[in-house]
């Protein structure tokens, strides 16, 4: 154990030991539920190496590291680089004079991430396919669709509505967007989704009919004049 700590806390292993510790703390926070899942399985979670990261994505994609969450790639890359430098320090660098050990250690510290990219790419291949299977399919937006109030009433504080989806129907939590009370059986239009309250804001569907009628009359007038 003493030899292990001596190698881990010595240069050139120490910088990678610090980065690896940060990665381990990150995954501990993920496991404790204090951060997102870290794997992109939830909407908005997991920074992916796609077009959104531009140069970084292009550079790592050349080594076969694209299409995976950023923290997963960095964690694997750091682990393999740390392993290479650790073994080099343990087996080769320790007996060398200080100056030579620092020169060779610095070169190893720069080359280790490049060499670690190959085993990282091998490990990511099956993990990438697994993550694609686990990722939920993107749901089509329900905004703009008409539902029917199923609860006794819908207010700004509570209410439910049933949306026909071609199957058993979707029971949605809804709130009155205009502060009015909507009654059971009334048709409502989904106009906004509240991510914090996990509900849809709705307005009476018939409230848009006059505007639609006037728009159609205006359009027909234009056609006649032309």
| The token pair that represents 22 in the structure block | 């940060």
Burial of 102 (0-12, 13-18, 19+ CB in 10 A): middle
- CA contacts within 13 A on the Cβ side of 94: 15
pLDDT in tens, 22-50: 999 999 988 877 776 555 544 444 444 44
What is the rounded distance in angstroms from the CA atom of residue 59 to the CA atom of residue 56? 5
Residue 156 CB contacts under 8 Å (≥ 6 apart), including other chains: 175, 176, 179
Task: Confirm if 165 and 185 have CB atoms less than 8 A apart.
Answer: no
pLDDT in tens, 154-173: 998 888 999 987 777 888 98
User: Which residue carries 């009919």 as its tokens?
Assistant: 209
pLDDT at 38: 57
Q: With a threshold of 0.95, does the pTM exceed it?
A: no
145-204: CATH superfamily: Nucleic acid-binding proteins (2.40.50.140)
Rg over CA atoms, the chain: 29
> What Å distances lie between residue 83 and 16, 74, 122, CA to CA?
9, 14, 16
**C-alpha torsion sign, points 118, 122, 125, 130:** negative
pLDDT in tens, 54-106: 556 667 777 778 777 888 999 999 999 999 999 999 999 988 898 999 999 99
Task: Confirm if 27 and 33 have CB atoms less than 8 A apart.
Answer: no
Q: What is the mean pLDDT of residues 210-216?
A: 40
Q: Which residues pair with 201 in a beta bridge?
A: 175, 192
In the chain, where are the structural domains located? Answer: 1-134, 145-204
pLDDT at 157: 87
Pick from 19-23, 49-53, 93-97, 198-202 the range whose average pLDDT is largest: 19-23
Task: Confirm if 202 and 189 have CB atoms less than 8 A apart.
Answer: yes
């Amino acid at each position: 154990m003493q030899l292990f700590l001596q190698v881990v806390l010595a240069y050139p292993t120490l910088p990678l030991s610090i980065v690896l510790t940060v990665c381990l703390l990150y995954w501990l926070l993920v496991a404790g539920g204090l951060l997102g899942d870290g794997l992109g399985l939830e909407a908005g979670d997991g920074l992916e190496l796609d077009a959104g990261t531009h140069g970084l994505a292009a550079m790592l994609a050349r080594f076969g590291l694209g299409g995976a969450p950023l923290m997963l790639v960095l964690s694997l890359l750091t682990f393999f680089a740390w392993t290479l430098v650790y073994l080099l320090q343990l087996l080769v660098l320790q007996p060398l004079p200080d100056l030579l050990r620092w020169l060779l250690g610095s070169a190893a510290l720069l080359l280790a991430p490049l060499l670690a990219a190959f085993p990282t790419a091998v490990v990511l291949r099956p993990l990438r396919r697994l993550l694609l299977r686990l990722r939920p399919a993107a749901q089509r937006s329900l905004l703009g669709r008409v539902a029917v109030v199923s609860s006794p009433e819908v207010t700004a504080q509570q209410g439910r509505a049933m949306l026909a989806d071609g199957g058993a129907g979707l029971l949605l939590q809804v709130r009155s967007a205009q502060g009015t009370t909507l009654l059971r059986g009334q048709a409502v239009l989904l106009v906004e989704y509240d991510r914090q309250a996990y509900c849809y804001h709705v307005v009476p569907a018939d409230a848009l009919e006059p505007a639609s009628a006037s728009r159609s009359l205006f359009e027909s007038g234009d056609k006649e004049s032309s």
